[in-house]
Amino acid sequence: MNNSDNGISGPSHLEMYTEPILNPNKLDSFEWRRRIVSTLGNAKFKIQYYGALHSEWNTLIVGTEFAPQKIVLVDINNQEEILLFDACKHGYNALLCDKYTQEQLAARMTDQLYQDQWGNDSFEIIISVYYQINFEEEFSEEIDVNGDVELINGQKISLEMLKRNAYDCIQIWGINKDGKKIEIISEELA
C-alpha cells in the first residue's frame, strides 16, 4: 500500500506525534507529509496560536509586526499540548538567518483559538514540510571536526539534525468535521 513514508525523517520535534498518510495525493520526493496524532493516538485538535489571520487569505495564520507566528495543538480528549510550529525556532531562516529577542520569544502567548469560516474549532491536522536545499554543498565549509554546524543563536547541532529541522517551506491543513480541508499555514522559510 502506498503511503507518505518516503524515507524523509521530518522535523525532530514532531517525531512522536505523527503517522504516515495512506495513498497521499501528489507527494513530492522532497516532501515530508504526515497526519498529527497525540501520544494517545487521538487525531482531533483545537488550534491555539500567536499571530494574526492574513488580510486577504483569512484562513492563514501569519506573524505580526512584533514577531512570527506560533501554533500549539490541544488534544480535545485529554488537553495534551503539542508545539506544531514556531517560526522563531523551526525552519531554515529561524535556525540559520533570523535573530529574535528574548521579548519576542517570550511574549508570544498562544491564546487565540482558531476557527474556520463555519465556526468549527476542532480539526484533524496534516502537515507537509519541504527539503529542497543541498546541505552538504551549502555548509561544506561550516561543518566542524565533530560534524556540527553552528546555528544563528550560537548553538551547534549535527548536520543530520540540521537537515531535518532547517526545512525551507511548511504547509499545515486542518480538516473539519465535514471533511473540508482548510489551509492554516503556508510559509516559505528560506
Distance, CA of 146 to CA of 156 (rounded, Å): 10
Give the CA angle between residues 164, 166, 170 to the nearest 5°. Answer: 95
Mean per-residue pLDDT for 138-152?
A: 90
Mean pLDDT of 65-78: 97
pLDDT-based confidence at 152, cuts 50/70/90? very high
For residues 10-18, give the mean pLDDT: 96
Cα 162 from Cα 135, distance rounded (Å): 8
pTM for the model stands at 0.94
Q: What is the pLDDT of residue 1?
A: 47
Residues 6+ apart with CB under 8 A from 76: 42, 44, 45, 46, 122
Q: State yes or no: pLDDT of 135 exceeds 50.
A: yes
pLDDT for 2: 67
Give the dihedral of Cα atoms 185, 99, 103, 171; nearest 10 deg. 10
- How far apart CA 79 and CA 73 sit, in angstroms, is 9
